[in-house]
Amino acid sequence: MNVQDTFDQIEENIMDLLARIDDGDEAALEDLKKLKKYITELSDMLSVVDESDDLESIRKKFDELSKKFDDFLMAIVKVVG
């Protein structure tokens, strides 16, 4: 699956959710809220990627973020007990 196929699938899912919401499906509204959260998180994660990055530089950035997150979790464990 390429990126365009992924975007097309996301668009189809959003359109389906909107149609279900229009029909009064409350579960679809909750699904749309979840989708918004996931897209926001994905956007935040991808904000560290620059146009000039290649796969290796992206991998290094994500490795560094992972290390910082692990350090953060260890600090929380120390504080909480």
Which percentage of the chain shows pLDDT scores above 90? 14
Residue 36 one-letter amino acid: K
Q: Other C-beta atoms within 10 Å of 17: how many?
A: 20
Q: What is the pLDDT of residues 25-64, one digit of tens each?
A: 999 988 888 888 888 887 877 788 888 888 899 889 888 8
Please state, for a pLDDT cut of 70, what percent of the chain lies above it.
Answer: 95
The pair of three-digit structure tokens given for residue 41, joined into one six-digit string: 């998180």
Contacts of 31 by beta carbon, 8 Å cutoff, 6+ apart: 17
Are 65 and 48 in contact, with CB atoms under 8 Å apart?
Answer: yes
**Residue holding tokens 């950035």?**
61
Closest of 15, 17, 3, 10 to residue 39, by C-alpha: 10
What is the model's pTM?
0.57
Q: How confident is the model at residue 21 (pLDDT cuts 50, 70, 90)?
A: very high
